[in-house]
Amino acid sequence: MKTLQHPALVDLIRKAYSAEKAAAFAYQGHAASVKNEKEKIAIRQIEIDEWNHRAEVLQIMKDFDIPVSKWYEFKFHIIGKLISASCFVIGWFMPFYFAGRLESGNVCEYFRMKHYFNSLGIKNYDVILYEMGIKEKEHEVYFLEQIKGNKLLPFFEKLFFWGNNSFNNIDLDKKYPVEESDVYCKK
């Protein structure tokens, strides 16, 4: 059985696994709360993407015999359910804004995992981690596009530091290939 001698990587993997469940739960409420059918369909697809990411992360955990964190599972289950329920009371803008902000940070989780694995000489997860990071960026871009012209965006940008400024350095129009993606999320 392979083991990872990298506590920060192990913790990041365990946290990502549980956080994907929270995101999927949140998107269930978000999709149910919007009236526009195209938005519902897009948000439901993002939920499916999050469940798929959770399955991919679980496979990595199995490859290294990393146990699921009961604490993270409990914590993120509650967070996801609370966010899901809040989508029905906080209006249309905030679920889109905070989903985009969350996705912006999630992008770097997968690239940080890739960096950590590479520091151990492990390259066989590069493609899947790259793909998950890029998919999270696509989610971020989708949510930002939905709120781009909203009058609340400038206020929320000042208050929560996300909007036209991303928490990652990925430009989907000028993506680096997997082999050159070490430049992503280096800070």
Q: Which residues contact 44 (CB under 8 A, 6 or more apart)?
A: 27, 31
Query: What phi and psi, each to the nearest 5 degrees, are found at residue 171?
Result: -115, 110
d(CA 19, CA 102): 11
Predicted TM-score (pTM) of this structure:
0.94
Residue 160, H or E segment = helix 153-160
Residue among 166, 158, 139 at smallest CA distance from 30: 139
* Residue 69: its H or E element: none
The type of residue at 23 is: A
Task: Quote the crossing angle between the two packed helices 153-160 and 93-119, to the nearest 10°.
Answer: 40
Distance CA 11, CA 72 (A): 10
Kindly give the confidence (pLDDT) of every residue in the chain, 187 residues in length, as a single tens digit, with 9 standing for 90 and above: 578 889 999 999 999 999 999 999 999 999 999 999 999 999 999 999 999 999 999 999 999 999 999 999 999 999 999 999 999 999 999 999 999 999 998 999 999 999 999 999 999 999 999 999 999 999 999 999 999 999 999 999 999 999 989 999 999 999 999 999 999 998 7
Rounded to 10 deg, the angle between the 7-33 and 37-63 helix axes is 160
Domains of the chain: 7-183 (1.20.1260)
Helix spans in the chain (H): 7-33, 37-63, 70-86, 93-119, 126-147, 153-160
Count of helices and strands (H, E) across the chain: 6, 0
